[in-house]
Amino acid sequence: MAFKNKILVTGGLGYIGSHTVISLIENGYDPIIVDNMCNSKIEALNRIEKISGVRPNTYIADVRDEEKMEQIFKENKIDAVIHFAGLKAVGESVQKPKLYYDNNIGSTEVLLKKMKEHGVKNIVFSSSATVYGNPKKVPIVESDPIGEVTNPYADTKVQIEYILQALAKQDPSLGIAILRYFNPIGAHPSGLIGEDPRGIPNNLMPYVTQVAVGKLPELNVFGNDYPTRDGTCIRDYIHVCDLARGHVLTLKKLEQGPGLVIYNLGTSVGTTVLELVNAFMKANNITIPYKIAPRRAGDIPECYANCDKAYKEIGFKTQYNIVDCCRDSWNWQKKNPNGLN
């Protein structure tokens, strides 16, 4: 049965959330957003409106705030929740583990409680390839072991997956989708929304675009002595608009009936750090100065997905390649050198 009512999008002003809100609107859904703006700006909402012509009903609130969540569930008839809200910086999670457990697990607990009280049966959860830890083999399939992780951020994702899996067993009327994202990059082709990290970026693509725009002098390539084709680490970079569409396809799957599904969302293609940097330079005709720096603690050599399951079960297939990703990331950064202001 199609979801005729609203889709609650927690963290809907963030990077992946805002792109997914656009996809939802384009596909006839009615998203409502809850975001506490700890890592987003209200300008994202203006940009969503500019792109889609729709200004989704938005609550600036913390998902852990039970009273506020009660109000949101009371005021809106909700068919399903997409739960993006969470903190995501690996390094910060090592420094502030309690903050990460409180925020990521605490928000999920409140959300699940309110869903139960209001008879909302469907949830899509933003998990991460990080739950696989250092994979024993690549490409990674969904049945590969999870849980051997080394930082609190990853552990919050593992714990939430366990909670959701237990719930699915206990209540077969629920529709639960766990999506394990690989490395989202790129931006909406309009250049109006994109990734807007606070401070110096930790992730590769926003670092590259900030070098390109002149905010940072050069890229440090963390290690070129890994056992890979050029010695730099391999990741699976997926365009954020492909990822967003994956959520729409997942909702359609949940519309078919209850149960638990788990999908890798990536491209099934591994790209090294140097390949990404070279693709960026070629796609945009820009030089990115870089130097080889020591390895970054905790990095794994190789991580990329096998996405056959998502293709077979929900028809998920990427439409953007690495060149598109590089073009759209740069388009976003050059139009918004200081992010969303």
Q: Minimum Å distance from CB 237 to ligand UDP? A: 9
Q: Minimum Å distance from CB 266 to ligand UDP? A: 11
Tell me the residue number closest to ligand UDP, measured at CB: 233
Which one, 12 or 266, has the nearer CB to ligand UDP?
Answer: 266
Distance CA 216, CA 186 (A): 19
Q: Which of 78, 221, 251, 262 binds ligand UDP (CB under 6 A)?
A: 221
Q: Which residues are catalytic?
A: 153
Torsion, CA 65, CA 71, CA 77, CA 80, rounded to 10: 0
Q: Minimum Å distance from CB 185 to ligand UDP? A: 8
Token pair of 193 as six digits: 């929304």
Residue 131 contacts ligand UDP per CB under 6 A: no
- The window from 41-49, 114-122, 202-210, 261-269 that contacts ligand UDP (CB under 6 A) reads 202-210
Distance CA 304, CA 271 (A): 9
**209 CB burial (10 A radius; 0-12, 13-18, 19+):** buried
Which one, 2 or 11, has the nearer CB to ligand NAD?
Answer: 11
Instruction: Give the DSSP H/E element, type plus range, for residue 109.
Output: helix 106-117
Residue 101 contacts ligand UDP per CB under 6 A: no
Close Cβ partners of 55 (under 8 Å, ≥ 6 residues apart)? 45, 48, 49
Residue 202 contacts ligand UDP per CB under 6 A: yes
Using omega within 30 degrees of 0 as the cis cutoff, is the peptide bond preceding 139 cis? yes
Q: Minimum Å distance from CB 17 to ligand NAD? A: 5
Positions 256 through 315 that interact with ligand UDP (CB under 6 A): 273, 296, 299
